[in-house]
Amino acid sequence: MSGTILENLSGRKISILVAILLILQVACFLIGGIIAPQPDNHQVVLALACKDQLGKQNDTSVWYWTRGKGKCAGITQLDIEKDAVKMANQLVYIFQMPLPREGRVLDFSRWQQNLIGVLSVDIAFDKSIRQDVKEDLILDVRLAYRNKGDPEDKWTLHSHSLETRSLTCKFDKIEDEAMFTCEMMPLFELGALHHDYYLLNLRLPMDSDMGMNTNIGHLHDVELTAIYQNGGFTIVWLSLKSVFFPLIVAVMIWFWRRVHMLTRKPALLEYMIFSLGASLTFLNMPLEFLTLYIEMPYMLLLSDIRQGIFYSTLLSFWLVFAGEHMLIQDTGEKKTLRSYWRHLSAVVIGCLSLLIFDLCERGAQLKNPFSSIWASRIGTHFALAFIILGGISAGMYFIFLCAMVWKVFGNISMKRTSFTAMSQARRLHYEGIIYRFKFLMLATLSCAAVTIAAYIVGQISEGQFKWDEDIEVEIASAFLTGVYGMWNIYILTLLILYAPSHKQWPVEHSASNENIIAEEIEFSNLPSDNNPSEISSLTSFSRKTAFD
């Protein structure tokens, strides 16, 4: 039996392979840390208050902007204070993006991929209010866009919605000039940044009969934090995808070709490795290049689905990979994926829950970019609970995986007691296999730990602007590119090392063929060429019932 390349590759060649992969891994970290800028950037846009045209509040063709021909001059805070009702229903707050820099007019680039808007308000202290503000804020929000070459006064409606946001504010000092400290509120999320300029007009309609925006006090300042992906990071990210995509595809074809050259059918572990490569190939496809030419507002949702498929396949593979080397009774039946349904059911349920959560959030934003599960207090608590539950589940999965790997190592240690009765050639052969397998298992645990850490930190980073303005989490580009490179290198290693080998096992020259065959049957239970079923000799060895 030839076994896998992992079992038959010489120590010198495998050392060279590991060195090359380590250099590639370090290169991924260095590319992110030295070449790529920060993954995300943001601008804080202070609203300009403008007086609305009488009777035009419901006309979506009327726009107010702050720069260029026909711009609004704005109203001073003093003018608003002098008004008896603070110009209720007469104010429109204007946000024009992006902001100019050093006197230069800037525009958004399609390389920046997406745009997220987070709203924050400063409410002037009112002596009549002696408690924290917890009210529903009703917003009339309208988003428009303009491209290069369009007239400065030509704005096209993108989205219009009447939204409700939960306003929660606290105060520390009772002074006339004090301001309430209010939490940030998610306002909109665009899955594609296809246009050059964006304009947001915000109104706060007041109605005493309906109790609409009557108990929030006087808005002193309104700010919008516009968050977008750095174009330079996108270029580096897509460059990595463009390199890894054809590389993984070529190795997958080579791996599957070697599997089908054998007389036996592919084993479960070979199917799982190929599925893992396929899911990574789907993730590696640089579909983001299409956004440079086509408006694809569903790209964020599609990216989440691709990453979810990869996560579910990777987590399932780790369970099967460890399970195939567990100490179990060999019944002679071929192992199938159904044999691991208890292990995989938790992974399936978790991934389906994440998919449902993502569809509720970003799926709804395809129709209305102002829609958000974070809009209400109940939705915020539900989203936070979901993220916390996901983090706890990921941690429990890692603990369970570590326990399975510990059992695998115990299984192998128990089997090593039978080495004394083996010939020297075969004993050295198995010692080398076990050493390499343990190294690969430790690499698997390291990959699992970093993957789960990346998932948890990514969830916190994505939600930091949505639930609390005091949380500061910064993910360096080196971490993102390094983890992405680690996934590709790890799966590339599996495809290479677990491909079938054409080499034959070394045997002692003094041993007869009859003794070798008897030894294989007695200690390894290795299948013959007429009935091959195992992917490697270690799998067969670890699943062999204890030698009496």
**Distance set, CA 244 to CA 17, 28, 251, 281 (Å):** 17, 11, 11, 8
Task: Determine the angle formed by the axes of helices 477-497 and 424-467, rounding to 10 degrees.
Answer: 150
Q: Is the pLDDT of residue 542 over 80?
A: no
74: left (phi over 0), alpha (psi -120 to 50) or beta: left
The region of weakest confidence among 221-230, 423-432, 480-489, 515-524 is 515-524
Q: Does domain 5-39+232-543 have CATH number 1.10.220?
A: no
Residue 546 predicted with pLDDT over 50: no
Is the distance from CB of 71 to CB of 155 less than 8 angstroms? no
Residues in the chain: 548
Distance of CA 401 to the CA centre of its chain: 21
Q: Identify the DSSP state of 122.
A: E
Question: Which are the contacts of 289, defined by CB distance < 8 A and separation ≥ 6?
Answer: 238
Note the pLDDT of residue 26.
85
What pLDDT, on the 0 to 100 scale, is given for residue 175? 52
Query: What's CA 511's distance to the chain center, in Å?
Result: 55
Give the pLDDT of residue 431.
66
pLDDT digits (tens, 9 = 90+) for 443-455: 777 777 777 776 6
Q: What is the DSSP letter of 506?
A: P
Indicate if the pLDDT at residue 533 is higher than 60: no
Question: Tokens 């202290």 correspond to what residue?
Answer: 125
Least confident stretch, 5-9, 100-104, 109-113, 130-134: 130-134
> Among 165-169, 346-350, 362-366, which stretch is predicted with the lowest mean pLDDT?
346-350
Domain edges within the chain: 5-39+232-543, 40-228
Which residues, including other chains, have CB under 8 Å from residue 338's CB and lie 6 or more apart? none
**C-beta of residue 480 within 8 angstroms of C-beta of residue 39:** yes
- Those residues whose C-beta lies under 8 Å from the C-beta of residue 317, and which sit 6 or more positions away, are 272, 273, 275, 276
In angstroms, the CA 120 to CA 167 distance is 9
Check residues 81 and 302 and name the one with the higher pLDDT. 302
Band of residue 84 on the pLDDT scale cut at 50, 70, 90: low
* pLDDT above 60 (res 332): no
Dig out the tokens for 241 from the structure: 């995808």
Selection from 474, 476, 449, 443 nearest residue 461 by Cα: 474
> How far is 464 from 473, CA to CA, in rounded Å?
7
Cβ-proximal residues to 336 (8 Å cutoff; 6+ apart), any chain: 268
Instruction: Please state the pTM of the whole predicted model.
Output: 0.79
Percentage of the residues of the chain whose pLDDT score is greater than 90: 18
In 301-402 the beta strands, taken as DSSP E runs, fall at none
> Lowest mean pLDDT: which of 37-46, 188-197, 358-367?
358-367
Please give the pLDDT value at position 247. Answer: 93
- The CA distance from 242 to 238, in Å, is 6
pLDDT of residue 246: 94
CA distances from 411 to 8, 91, 314, 327, 417 (A): 22, 73, 23, 6, 11
Q: How much is the average pLDDT of 456-479? A: 55
Average pLDDT, the chain: 77
Query: What pLDDT, on the 0 to 100 scale, is given for residue 289?
Result: 94
Higher pLDDT, 463 or 92: 92
Q: Which residues contact 252 (CB under 8 A, 6 or more apart)?
A: 274, 277, 278, 281, 495
With contact defined as beta carbons under 8 Å apart, do 46 and 223 qualify? yes
Q: What share of the chain is helix, strand, coil (3-state, %, to 5)?
A: 50, 15, 35
* Residue 326 φ then ψ, to 5°: -75, 160
For residue 335, the model assigns a pLDDT of: 63
Percent of the chain topping pLDDT 70: 76
